[in-house]
Amino acid sequence: MGQNNKTYKIILSGGGTGGHIYPAIAIANELKQRFPDAEFLFVGAKDRMEMDKVPQAGYKIEGLWISGIQRELTLKNLSFPFKLISSLFKARKIINRFKPNVVIGTGGFASGPLLQVANSKGIPSLIQEQNSFPGITNKLLSKNADKICVAYDGLERFFPESKIIKTGNPVRQDLLNIDSKREKALEYFELSKEKKTLVVLGGSLGARRINELIEKELDFILIHNMQIIWQCGKLYYDQYKIYDNTRNIQVHDFLNNMDLVYAAADVIVSRAGASSVSELCIVGKPVIFIPSPNVAEDHQTKNAMALVNEKAAMVINEADLDVDFENGFSQLMASPEKQELLSKNIKKLALVDATKHIVDEVEKLLNK
């Protein structure tokens, strides 16, 4: 499907976390390549990170006054009905004014009201579900969406089977050839070729429990002839920066140049958010997942287990770190065969053309 100069109007909605925002931006970039004259509008939740990240990527965004329902009974839940009504009202105004040809939702609170209004007006809609276990918003929206692009098998338990297309999750294109960047990466991070590199990823804000683990296990990790790139997150950088540039340890609040980070890595410790999992499949390095237990429906554990079941990764739950980490890490580092097996199997699960396939489906809706 090639370029087309028809002037389409496209709304994308998703946010709250990078896992919902970056796929939406990747889809928009691919659509823009195919339809240079198309007009784009993002809709997010006010006060969430999409309000910064989307304009940085060069797109306009409008915010809805919306947030999720807390699982505990809290005062915040009392305002939810008002936020929902306000957001449905504003979403209707946005759609009436912008008149989109198609609406795309990538999950998160804001996509709920927007797709709900689009569906009620008969505007074609597509949902992109990143996780192996969908959130409540996408489950509710799936009944009226035209297409649902997924990254895992078995989602007909949650969505109408006839609408599901397995495409994978959009990922950064610069990760596709990282093997050729290893030399450059070691130079960039000033790493030794004689040592193995452990990369620790806790997400943009950081992961408290992973940081505590790494601090406690620094000596243990270093005796395996390792050097460490430790992304501890903005919230924790002041606490852990004392270790930066000591004994083959680098501490970063945030990592840009992720292609070089992955190229330098021999082993990776990571959260198991959907976008991270999709990237790590393409990267093809041995991974120890430490899923966040603080996410809806514990979907990070489910994402990680989908890989463990294919002998493509290791997983250690936060509750078991003190007992299982040293043992699991030692076994992995002592066995080049196990490292090789995990690399080979995780690569088999990579879906490298996900963004193109999703946009193929959007294009079919545009040409309906």
pLDDT, tens only, 153-164: 889 999 999 999
Query: In terms of residue numbers, what domain contains 18?
Result: 9-170+353-366
pLDDT tier for residue 87 given thresholds of 50, 70 and 90: confident
User: Average pLDDT for residues 139-167, to the nearest whole number?
Assistant: 94
At 353 the pLDDT is 92
Within this chain, do residues 186 and 149 fall inside the same structural domain, yes or no? no
Within this chain, do residues 296 and 236 fall inside the same structural domain, yes or no? yes
Residue 4 lies in a domain: no
Rounded Cα–Cα distance for residues 157 and 13 (Å): 24
pLDDT tier for residue 120 given thresholds of 50, 70 and 90: very high
Q: What six digits make up the tokens of 184?
A: 């450059």
At 68 the pLDDT is 58
User: Average pLDDT for residues 99-128, to the nearest whole number?
Assistant: 93
At 45 the pLDDT is 82
Residue 60 lies in a domain: yes
Q: pLDDT exceeding 70 applies to what percent of the chain?
A: 93
Count CA within 13 A, CB hemisphere, residue 277.
Answer: 30
* CA dist 140 → 19, 83, 107 (Å): 19, 18, 11
pLDDT tier for residue 84 given thresholds of 50, 70 and 90: confident
Question: CB count, 10 Å around CB of 257?
Answer: 15
At 192 the pLDDT is 95
Q: pLDDT exceeding 90 applies to what percent of the chain?
A: 66
At 75 the pLDDT is 64
Rounded Cα–Cα distance for residues 272 and 278 (Å): 9
User: Average pLDDT for residues 302-315, to the nearest whole number?
Assistant: 94
Within this chain, do residues 190 and 149 fall inside the same structural domain, yes or no? no
Radius of gyration of the chain (CA): 21
User: Average pLDDT for residues 322-350, to the nearest whole number?
Assistant: 96
pLDDT tier for residue 76 given thresholds of 50, 70 and 90: low
Within this chain, do residues 217 and 292 fall inside the same structural domain, yes or no? yes
At 360 the pLDDT is 97
DSSP state of 329: H
At 299 the pLDDT is 83
User: Average pLDDT for residues 40-66, to the nearest whole number?
Assistant: 85
Q: Reduced to 3 DSSP states, what percent helix, strand and coil does the chain have, rounded to the nearest 5?
A: 50, 15, 35
Count CA within 13 A, CB hemisphere, residue 218.
Answer: 17
Residue 64 lies in a domain: yes
Give Cα 187 distance to the centre of its chain. 28
User: Backbone phi, then psi, for 269, in 5-degree steps?
Assistant: -110, 125
DSSP state of 54: H
pLDDT reading at 181 higher than 90: yes
Within this chain, do residues 273 and 358 fall inside the same structural domain, yes or no? no
Within this chain, do residues 243 and 106 fall inside the same structural domain, yes or no? no
Q: What is the mean pLDDT of the chain?
A: 90
Residue 3 lies in a domain: no
Rounded Cα–Cα distance for residues 121 and 109 (Å): 20
Instruction: With CA atoms as reference, report the closest residue to 356 among 167, 186, 86.
Output: 167
User: Average pLDDT for residues 61-74, to the nearest whole number?
Assistant: 67
At 89 the pLDDT is 83
Position of tokens 């290791």? Answer: 314
Comparing 3-7, 18-22, 70-74, 265-269, the range with the smallest average pLDDT is 70-74
Q: What CATH number does the domain containing 233 carry?
A: 3.40.50.2000
45 versus 285: the higher-pLDDT residue is 285
Number of folded domains that form the chain? 2
At 78 the pLDDT is 67
Within this chain, do residues 242 and 361 fall inside the same structural domain, yes or no? no
Position of tokens 């603080």? Answer: 294
pLDDT tier for residue 206 given thresholds of 50, 70 and 90: confident
Within this chain, do residues 148 and 179 fall inside the same structural domain, yes or no? no
Residue 1 lies in a domain: no
Within this chain, do residues 34 and 180 fall inside the same structural domain, yes or no? no
pLDDT reading at 133 higher than 90: no
pLDDT reading at 50 higher than 70: yes
Residue 2 lies in a domain: no
